[in-house]
Structure 1
Amino acid sequence: MELRTVPRTGSTNDDVAALAAAGAAEGLWLRAAVQTGGRGRQGRAWDSPTGNLHASTLLRHRAADPPAPTLALVAAVALHEVLSAYTAAPDLRLKWPNDVMLGGAKLSGILLEKAGDAVVIGFGVNLAWHPAGLGRPVTSLPAAGAAAPDPDVFLHDLAGAFARWVSRWRGEGLGPVRGAWLAAAHPIGTPLLARGADGGAIEGLFDGLAEDGALRLRLADGSRHVMHAGDVFAL
């Protein structure tokens, strides 16, 4: 495991992708104190000021590994585990596939990008500050009454947790990860709005995860909808 910190960059995901293309080994982590071109899923801008965590890591996907997209659940479980050590809030919950919510507001985001056998996993966590005026609820640890941790210390904790969960994912399959994710998620029966990649929206009740980690929704007519990609919002 190698942890690097730079004072400023455009995107840690872009930097780690370039390092991967140059032959960097799995286990590399790059944190930027300030990130000027951070992005979330579907290209959304991600504010990245000093004090928050903006970091990316590299995994080399192996033929025997579970499918690469399931690393979204691995990353979410690892991040939730670490955040749970910094706040005792009972409403620290996972929202599919990998958002950590605190009090119903978004505390962090995770972005996976794949190129060949390289999977870059970017973490953005509002350790000290959160933006306003986004049109959706967001929060930070201090806003929820917790102290803001040192980003380098937090990164060290996160790197260790992620390595442990990757080891289980490789050695035991998706089952333990899926179980941990469900234990940290909002309750079964939570009303959700799911929006697919085509822009179509569907409402239903959270009905857990399929064996492959896909989202299951129970619709009003009693049928089940399974979603493999898209955005989910609590109603």
Structure 2
Amino acid sequence: MIRVVAEIASTNSALLARLAEGEAPAEGHWLVADRQTAGRGRAGRIWTGGLGNFMGSTAVALREGEALPQTLALVAGVSVHRALMTVVPDIAGLALKWPNDLLVEEAKLGGILLERQRDAVIVGIGVNLAEAPQVPGRKTVSLNALGHAVVRDDFAAALATAWAEDLTAWHAGAWPMLRGEWLSRALPKGTLLGVNLAEEGHVIGGFAGLEPDGAVLLRLADGAVRAIHAGDVELIGQGTAAAGVGESDASGG
């Protein structure tokens, strides 16, 4: 079920409030807004969206023995990628960047935000269908600017279908398969990524895959492979390998 509202502060915040009031997560239900006035992204960034873009959230009920909840960001990435390929089969340069971005070449097309409350996770998704917000220091793009006119509700329906299938698989223990699906849609191996780490400062390495728990692997200049479990990862150069940073398959399978 997809419920559309004309304007809301944040679809994620609205679902979190329902959970706080004791409402059980309704998997498969989506809250979608025509306009969002106080949306947010990772690291507390403000993200507001205009008419024609997709801005929506859905809930996941966590169960014992499942994959780590943070892997849902990667599962959502697979679903969004699949939905985009459904509505725009000829889109070129579409790729996933760890942990939550969809890129076209070097420009951000969409993003994912997970927020947990007790035994539930709210998955918020934003995709620039009609227009791209201006984000200081970051390239952004919309499907419309790329010459692809996509009706928001058509994309919403494609996403709801893809997410229902992928979430069912995740609940059933198919995270290893979904991890492979994410890798098949990711930036090329060797793409230079940078991340700020509290104790080490800025670390740069070539994308080398994913750990089984969903952490991203970076191959550093000295050849060592480093697992990054949390951080704001930036794109340094797409498909570019520095000295000692090669396209080694260190994904673990």
Give the alignment of 1:12-161 within 5 angstroms.
Answer: 12-21=11-20, 22-24=22-24, 25-87=26-88, 88-132=90-134, 134-147=136-149, 149-161=150-162
Match of 1:188, SS?
A: coil
Q: Is the 8 A contact 1:197 1:230 kept in 2?
A: no
Change (3 A) 1:133 1:223: closer
- Structure 2 CA distance, aligned partners of 1:51 and 1:181? 27
- Structure 1 CA distance, aligned partners of 2:200 and 2:6? 38
What's the offset of the Cα at 1:26? 2.4
Q: Is the 8 A contact 2:87 2:155 kept in 1?
A: no
Q: Deviations over 1:145-191 (max 9, x none)?
A: 211x2222211211110110011112233111110111001111111
Match of 1:172, SS?
A: coil
Q: Is the 8 A contact 1:197 1:229 kept in 2?
A: no
- Structure 2 CA distance, aligned partners of 1:199 and 1:30? 40
Aligned length, in residue pairs: 233
Q: Is the 8 A contact 1:29 1:55 kept in 2?
A: yes
Gaps of 5+ in 1: none
Q: Deviations over 1:179-218 (max 9, x none)?
A: 0111001111111112246783200111111111100001
Q: Deviations over 1:68-89 (max 9, x none)?
A: 1100111000001111123313
Q: Is the 8 A contact 2:109 2:140 kept in 1?
A: yes
Please give the TM-score of this superposition, normalised by the length of structure 1: 0.94
Q: Is the 8 A contact 2:66 2:173 kept in 1?
A: no
Match of 2:58, SS?
A: strand
Change (3 A) 1:28 1:133: closer
Gaps of 5+ in 2: 237-253
Change (3 A) 1:155 1:224: same
Q: Deviations over 1:88-108 (max 9, x none)?
A: 133100000121101210000
- Structure 1 CA distance, aligned partners of 2:97 and 2:105? 12
- Structure 2 CA distance, aligned partners of 1:74 and 1:64? 17
Q: Is the 8 A contact 1:20 1:58 kept in 2?
A: no
- One-letter amino acid of the structure 1 residue matched with residue 100 of structure 2: N
Kindly, what percent of the aligned residue pairs are identical? 45
Q: Is the 8 A contact 2:29 2:58 kept in 1?
A: yes
- One-letter amino acid of the structure 1 residue matched with residue 161 of structure 2: G
Deviates more, 1:150-159 or 1:209-218: 150-159
- Structure 2 CA distance, aligned partners of 1:174 and 1:190? 24
Q: Deviations over 1:10-34 (max 9, x none)?
A: 0100101122233142222101111
Match of 1:109, SS?
A: strand
Change (3 A) 1:133 1:23: closer
